[in-house]
């Protein structure tokens, strides 16, 4: 369990870095993979959730206001939402020439 918590902290610090380019398809693919790994880590941690006391903090994508929850489900949903957003952004910034449009449409 300690390894999952350490990995989650590392992933979160990578996702919150200010130098992350959010308009590069390659960078967005890496971000998407980080959100997916974070989801998997929280999912494995959820079996211990009743005995753990965590407060999860995030910001609303619509209002920008900070949200707090004691439920691990909130973090799981946040990871999946951010994964979907990164997928769509990856499609938007792809080169659409040739098979690019067909490839990009898979992300929506």
* Whole-prediction pTM: 0.74
Domain count of the fold of the chain: 1
List the alpha helices (DSSP H) in the chain.
Answer: 2-15, 25-45, 72-92, 100-105
Kindly state the tokens that stand for 3: 């390894």
Report pLDDT digits (tens) over 15-61.
Answer: 777 566 667 888 888 888 988 998 988 888 877 766 677 777 777 66
Its domain, for residue 11, covers: 2-105
């Amino acid at each position: 369990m300690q390894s999952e918590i350490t990995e989650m902290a590392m992933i979160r610090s990578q996702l919150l870095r200010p130098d992350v380019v959010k308009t590069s398809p390659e960078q967005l693919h890496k971000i998407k993979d980080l959100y997916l790994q974070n989801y998997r880590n929280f999912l494995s941690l959820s079996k211990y959730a009743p005995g753990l006391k965590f407060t999860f903090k995030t910001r609303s994508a619509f209002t920008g206001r900070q949200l707090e929850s004691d439920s691990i489900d909130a973090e799981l949903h946040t990871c999946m939402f951010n994964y979907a957003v990164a997928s769509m952004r990856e499609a938007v910034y792809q080169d659409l020439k040739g098979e690019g449009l067909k490839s990009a449409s898979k992300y929506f």
